[in-house]
Structure 1
Amino acid sequence: MSSTILAAGRGFRFVPGVYQYSAGVAAEPGFRIERVRFADPVPMAAGFARIAEVLAAAGVAKTAFCACEMRSPAPFTEQGFADFNKIYGAVLTEWGIFVDGHNPVARSNVCPEISPPGEPGFHAFSFVVPAADAPPSFVVAGSGESQEGKGNYRDNTVALGDLSPAGLLRKGQFVLGEMERRMAALGFGWADTTAVQAYTVHDLHPFLASEIVARGAARHGLTWQFCRPPVQDLEYEMDCRGVLTERVLPRT
Structure 2
Amino acid sequence: MTTVDFQPGGYRFVPGVFQYSAGVAALSGFGMRRVQFRRPVPLDEGFARIEGIIKAEERPLTAFCACELRSPGQFSEEGFRHFNERYVDTLARWGIFDGSTNPVARSNVCPEVGGPAEPSFHAFTFTVAREEPRPSFVVAGSGECPEGLGNYRDHIVRRGDLSAEAIAEKARFVLGEMERRLGALGAGWTDVTATQVYTVHDIHPFLAGEIVARGAAPGGVTWHFDRPPVVDLEYEMDCRGVLEELVV
Bin for the TM-score computed over the shorter chain: over 0.9
Which residue of structure 2 aligns with residue 5 of structure 1? 4
Which residue of structure 2 aligns with residue 23 of structure 1? 22
Displacement after TM superposition at 1:98 (Å): 2.1
The within-5 A match list for 1:131-142 is 131-142=130-141
Q: Does 1:65 align with 2:64?
A: yes
The within-5 A match list for 1:85-124 is 85-98=84-97, 101-124=100-123
Which residue of structure 1 aligns with residue 194 of structure 2? 195
Which residue of structure 1 aligns with residue 221 of structure 2? 222
Q: Is the 8 A contact 1:147 1:157 kept in 2?
A: yes
Tell me how far apart the structure 2 counterparts of residues 134 and 46 of structure 1 sit (CA, whole Å): 34
Which residue of structure 1 aligns with residue 125 of structure 2? 126
The within-5 A match list for 1:164-203 is 164-203=163-202
Which residue of structure 2 aligns with residue 42 of structure 1? 41
Uncovered stretches (5+) of structure 1, i.e. residues with no partner: none
Which residue of structure 2 aligns with residue 158 of structure 1? 157
Displacement after TM superposition at 1:94 (Å): 1.0
- Once the two structures are superposed, what CA deviation does each residue of 1:63-116 show, in whole Å capped at 9, x if it has no partner? 000000000000000000000000001111111102583100000000000001
Q: Is the 8 A contact 2:8 2:62 kept in 1?
A: no
Which residue of structure 1 aligns with residue 82 of structure 2? 83
Q: 1:124 to 1:133 in 2, by over 3 A?
A: closer
Q: TM-score, normalised by structure 1?
A: 0.97
Aligned residue identity for 1:33: M
Tell me how far apart the structure 2 counterparts of residues 133 and 233 of structure 1 sit (CA, whole Å): 40
Aligned residue identity for 2:107: S
- Identity value in percent: 62
Aligned residue identity for 2:70: R
Displacement after TM superposition at 1:170 (Å): 0.8
SS at match of 1:9: helix
Aligned residue identity for 1:166: E
Q: Is the 8 A contact 1:31 1:134 kept in 2?
A: no
Tell me how far apart the structure 2 counterparts of residues 97 and 11 of structure 1 sit (CA, whole Å): 12
Aligned residue identity for 2:145: S
Q: Is the 8 A contact 2:25 2:138 kept in 1?
A: yes
Which residue of structure 2 aligns with residue 243 of structure 1? 242
Q: CA RMSD in A?
A: 1.0
- Once the two structures are superposed, what CA deviation does each residue of 1:127-184 show, in whole Å capped at 9, x if it has no partner? 0011034532000000000111000111110010111111011100000000000000
Aligned residue identity for 1:143: S
Q: 1:57 to 1:160 in 2, by over 3 A?
A: same
SS at match of 1:73: coil
SS at match of 1:150: coil
Q: 1:49 to 1:190 in 2, by over 3 A?
A: same
Tell me how far apart the structure 2 counterparts of residues 168 and 9 of structure 1 sit (CA, whole Å): 40
Uncovered stretches (5+) of structure 2, i.e. residues with no partner: none
Tell me how far apart the structure 1 counterparts of residues 103 and 155 of structure 2 sit (CA, whole Å): 24
Q: 1:158 to 1:133 in 2, by over 3 A?
A: closer
Tell me how far apart the structure 1 counterparts of residues 124 and 4 of structure 2 sit (CA, whole Å): 20
Displacement after TM superposition at 1:9 (Å): 3.3
Q: Is the 8 A contact 1:7 1:99 kept in 2?
A: no
Q: TM-score, normalised by structure 2?
A: 0.98
Q: Is the 8 A contact 1:68 1:126 kept in 2?
A: yes
**Deviates further, 126-135 or 209-218:** 126-135
